[in-house]
Structure 1
Amino acid sequence: MKTPLSPSEANSGLYHYMTYLYHATRQYWLSCRRFHALQQIIRNQTLTTYFQPILNLQDGTCLGYEVLNRPPVSALFPHTESFYDFIGRTDQVFAFERFCRDISFNRFRFALIRSRKPADTLAFVNIHPQMLSDPGYRSGETIQLLSRYGLSPQQVVFELTEKQAVHDYVAFERILSHYRSQGFRIAIDDAGSGYNSLKAIVSLKPEFIKIDKSLIRHLHLHPNQQRIVKLLQEFAADSGTHIIAEGIEEAEELAFLQREGIVYGQGYALGRPATEMGTDILPLRLKELAH
């Protein structure tokens, strides 16, 4: 026979249950408010689009721009990461990706015109791997969208990140072959930050490998980081892939990468994300940054 709970034990259990119920209810209503805010952002197109240059570290010319869409800062979404983390926990991933793809191409084209950049400048667009697997996404909708904005598939590089792991590499490689046949290219983002990105590099054979900023930070001071970068560089050279060093913030990092023959780079030292496309860094200016 079970011993009856004492009044204090019973009250303790009730207290914990009420505390749990309070927090669960509060979290539910917070999610409802965030979902409503997300719908408003999509409906009113209140994302701000930024362009961060990817430059040739040897001559200062611009390869292209990474297209970044950021929500307005609010109490519900105090920073960009909280916004995208929330989307990942909803059933709105595909709808939001379609929305982002549309405004990214639209705003990229107009930014090219305003800045008088070459019409074939590359657009690096972050995309969820599951989005490429969606039958509706593979139906030619992307080609039609690009045609509407006067862009070509040869200008578009889909960035796949470490945070968005691919699970079936054989099936996904077939999907990528479909896109490559149309002229699209693939970049593996955050390379070297974890097992998934390294496996993706070997399995998917991307046209671009973007080395994670954690490997670039203070690269000139850490031999272990240098060895990993050199290994990635050797792999890229053997497989016909281009290396892009991300997160370059210091002149010493830039100088080391230039000496090692890394061709492309991205980071605050070269250009911060901006709503307009700036002037390319001239070779002389690039040398000044590296010294």
Structure 2
Amino acid sequence: MTCSNCSIILPIKDQGLLRIRHSRVSLTPALDGLGMLSEQLKQEHGREGSIEFRFDSRSELEQLVNGLARLPQEYLNHMQVVVTGLYYIEGYEDWLLFSQLQARLQHPDIVSIIKDQSFSSHMQPIVDHKLDIIGFEFLLRPSHAERPFQPFRLFEIAREAGLHAHLDRSARISAIEKSATCLPAGIKRFINFLPSTIYNPAYCLNHTFETIDRLSMSTKDFVFEVVETEEIDDLNFLHHIFDQYRNRGVSVALDDVGAGYSTTELMNCLQPDYVKIDRSIIDGCHSNSDQKRQITGIVESAFRFGGQVLAEGVEQMEDFEFCREAGVSLAQGYLFGKPEPGPPSNFMLSSVI
């Protein structure tokens, strides 16, 4: 079984063919109306009802795409495109939505970072109520100063370009491999994942489990966090993803509970092993009655299904102390350590004593 979302990213060549097709309407009349069927563009009818345009430079390809962008939106919404070399090879193609090709042309530096995997994982400590480090969250960061990016923006553009599944998988594997080099067995590794990038859990998560097995690591040391910037429509499918993880001994967490789409209702429905309370509820909670009530309510709900509660973004000891008294068992934030390329210098020594 193969999946284009997990395959290699084919480069956009400086010379080749731009092929377009539409599953619902004929594109010929609309293109003719734009004057795009001229001999100068070397248009010819291609395979499978597609239309082909030859280009001989990157700028010519961009001109073609800009011309196609003048089509009515109802055409663009369902139009598929692919860029190939001059000599077509069956199977070596990557059909995209038109908007995805636009994003790849507009952000070549970001596409290059994703393609080259020019990123690494930083680690932020997670502590228990005794302030002992029990694990780390792995967070994506640039691996080269000359190729900077903001993680949120990187994933945002990756989603626009149809590369977010590729990026999410690569980031997971990068975090697993990093953890193998600097953490002993028994220390939890919290790693983010986007459920919208997983199309077939049994297949798409194979890369994750194969990496863990290859490095002779225990799945019980891993916690995979649901991080989603879009509303989750199919909860049954997310339950299926959770089952795939849990069947292999991996724990699951719901991130940013209390903010955005990570509602307490979603938490009660999914019943994750770990519940991470959003920093907006934690910050200043020791002096805010509304935040206190929210935290207490989340703790009580999680207790009913056996979930451990983790406070995110803790920066004040007073906030940590309230959370601890309220039954929050774990915490993470600048109070205990910022994301760094590796664990604290004294961590490896203390973890084996």
TM-score normalised to structure 1 length: 0.77
The counterpart of 2:156, out of the listed 73, 79, 85, is 85
Say whether residues 1:143 and 2:215 are aligned partners: no
For 1:83-108, what per-residue CA distance to the aligned partner results, in whole angstroms no more than 9, with x for missing partners?
22111212111111221122111111
Output the CA distance in 2 between the equivalents of 1:162 and 1:98.
Answer: 15
Q: Residue 32 of structure 1 aligns with which residue? A: 105
CA distance in 1, matches of 2:120, 2:233: 32
Secondary structure of the corresponding residue to residue 234 of structure 1: helix
Residue 331 of structure 2 corresponds to 265
Alpha-carbon distance change, 178 to 162 in structure 1, aligned in 2, over 3 angstroms: closer
**Cα contact 1:133–1:175 (8 A) shared by 2:** no
8 A Cα contact 1:67 1:123, kept in partner: yes
The one-letter code sitting in structure 1 at the alignment partner of 2:194 is H
Q: How many Å separate the matches in 2 of 1:157 and 1:190?
A: 15
The alignment status of 1:167 with 2:240, answered yes or no, reads: no
* Length, aligned pairs only: 251
Pick from 103, 115, 121 the counterpart of residue 49 of structure 1: 121
Equivalent residues of 1:131, 1:137 under 8 A apart: no
Which residue is 2:256 aligned to? 190
User: 5 Å matches for 1:105-254?
Assistant: 105-112=176-183, 118-135=184-201, 137-138=203-204, 140-254=206-320
Instruction: Kindly indicate whether structure 1 or structure 2 has the higher relative contact order, using CA contacts under 8 Å at least 6 residues apart.
Output: 1
Once the two structures are superposed, what CA deviation does each residue of 1:176-202 show, in whole Å capped at 9, x if it has no partner? 223211111110000011354323211
Aligned residue in 1 for 2:50? none
CA distance change for structure 1 residues 69 and 191 in 2, over 3 Å: closer, same or farther? same
Q: Structure 2: how far apart are the matches of 1:259 and 1:161?
A: 27
Other-structure match for 2:130: 59
1:68 matches 2:139: yes
Retained in 1: the 8 A contact 2:123–2:343?
yes
SS in 2 for 1:179: helix
- 1:137: Cα distance to partner? 3.7
Aligned partners of 2:112, 2:223: CA distance in 1, in Å?
29
SS at match of 1:158: strand
How much does 1:209 deviate? 0.3
Is the Cα contact below 8 Å between 2:123 and 2:341 reproduced in 1? yes
- Counterpart secondary structure, 2:263: helix
* Cα distance in 1 between the residues matched to 2:282 and 2:276: 11
Q: 1:177 to 1:79 in 2, by over 3 A?
A: closer
Return 5+ residue gaps in structure 2 as ranges. 1-65, 71-98, 348-353
Higher helix share: 1
Report if the CA contact (8 A) 2:273-2:308 is conserved.
Answer: yes
Deviations 1:128-171 (A, max 9, x none): 01234435644633221111122222121111125243211123
Deviation by residue 1:258-283 (Cα, 9 ceiling, x = unmatched): 33232100000011100011145xxx
Distance 1:205 1:274, change over 3 A: same
The SS at the match of 2:322 is: helix
Q: Percent identity?
A: 26
- In 2, the alpha carbon distance for the partners of 1:51 and 1:75 equals 21
State how far apart, in whole Å, the 1-side matches of 2:144 and 2:287 are.
36
What is the TM-score of this pair, normalised by structure 2? 0.64
Verify the 8 A CA contact 1:105 1:146 in the aligned structure 2: yes
The answer to whether the 8 A contact 1:133-1:172 is kept is no
Tell me whether 142-151 or 226-235 shows the greater mean CA deviation.
Answer: 142-151
CA-to-aligned-CA distance 1:98-134 (integer Å, 9 cap, x gap): 211221111111122xxxxx31211111100123443
In 2: Cα distance, 1:139 partner to 1:125 partner: 13
Could you tell me how far apart the structure 2 residues matched to 1:138 and 1:81 are? 22
- Aligned residue identity for 1:49: S
In structure 1, distance between residues paired with 2:285 and 2:268:
24
